[in-house]
């Protein structure tokens, strides 16, 4: 495994990244909550981009992977700032974000911040607004009281150690919601969603599809695919979606 490079942001966060030069638009992989840039999808897409001579960037949000800070110090807004900072510092021209789970929410926030730079977008099990519609909506009264009293609760994960969810993450998440107001995506969008996903429901994918204003937005439901969406056939579908948008841009 090659060593990452680092970007020091204006917010005093140190972000680890790997960058591959090539033909634009820049493919930007945006990972999920508590995942990192060494995951199967990120590495596979990087290898695919390199083989095609395409520009590619993967990175770790603060509190994730090899970047600075602890996970529980961060929030959706912090990671949106990380995303914008690293894209502004390391890339020029059109970008094509590929957002997985929480990274899908980050891609949508990026569309609000810099719509003119986005050539297209791919989401994989996108999880917009999950701090409110997932965590807060599912918390028991005891958990809500604990969050108020202690500022944090732990919830189990199907994929790793329990998540520490802070009151700051919930409160900041409410400032980043994208499904409660106009969501204009003036570029082609491809959404991928597994029907066996226990973390993000098909109802969430359909809600995003119905809510967004977009001239060319398509949702593919993949029977029996889970939240990881990283077996061979699923990886091929990600390649196909990215390739489709690159062909439109060309």
Give pLDDT tens digits for 162-199: 889 999 999 999 999 999 999 999 999 999 999 999 99
pLDDT value at position 2? 86
Domain-by-domain residue ranges, the chain?
5-128+181-242
Beta bridge partners of 56: 20, 27
Give pLDDT tens digits for 111-121: 999 999 999 99
Q: Return d(Cα 217, Cα 205) in angstroms, integer.
A: 12
Beta bridge partners of 193: 221
Helices (H), 22-123: 40-52, 76-90, 102-113
Positive or negative CA dihedral for 97, 100, 103, 104?
Answer: positive
Total length of the chain: 250
pTM for the structure as a whole: 0.96
Q: What is the mean pLDDT of residues 86-105?
A: 98
CATH topology of domain 5-128+181-242: Rossmann fold (3.40.50)
**Contact between residue 102 and residue 39 where contact means Cβ atoms under 8 Å apart:** no
pLDDT value at position 207? 98
Mapped onto helix, strand or coil, the DSSP state of residue 124 is strand
Could you tell me which of 224, 248, 244 has the C-alpha nearest to residue 236?
244
Q: With 70 as the cut, is the pLDDT of residue 160 above it?
A: no
Give pLDDT tens digits for 22-69: 999 999 999 999 999 999 999 999 999 999 999 999 999 999 999 999
């Amino acid at each position: 495994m090659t060593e990452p490079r680092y970007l020091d942001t204006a917010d005093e966060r140190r972000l680890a990244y790997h960058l591959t030069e090539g033909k634009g638009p820049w493919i930007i992989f945006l990972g999920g909550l508590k995942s990192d840039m060494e995951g199967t999808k990120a590495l596979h897409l990087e290898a695919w981009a390199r083989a095609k001579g395409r520009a590619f960037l993967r990175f770790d949000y603060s509190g994730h992977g090899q970047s600075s800070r602890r996970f529980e110090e961060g929030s959706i807004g912090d990671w949106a700032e990380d995303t914008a900072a690293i894209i502004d510092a390391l890339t020029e021209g059109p970008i094509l974000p590929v957002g997985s789970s929480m990274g899908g929410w980050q891609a949508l926030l990026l569309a609000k911040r810099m719509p003119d730079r986005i050539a297209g977008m791919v989401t994989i099990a996108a999880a917009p607004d999950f701090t409110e519609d997932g965590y807060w909506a599912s918390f028991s009264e005891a958990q809500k009281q604990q969050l108020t009293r202690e500022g944090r609760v732990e919830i189990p994960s199907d994929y790793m150690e329990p998540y520490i969810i802070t009151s700051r993450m919930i409160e900041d998440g409410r400032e980043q919601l994208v499904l409660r107001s106009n969501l204009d995506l003036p570029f082609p969008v491809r959404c991928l969603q597994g029907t066996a996903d226990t973390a993000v429901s098909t109802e969430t994918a359909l809600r995003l599809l119905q809510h967004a204003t977009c001239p060319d937005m398509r949702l593919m439901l993949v029977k029996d695919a889970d939240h990881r969406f990283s077996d061979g056939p699923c990886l091929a579908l990600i390649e196909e979606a990215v390739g489709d948008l690159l062909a439109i841009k060309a």
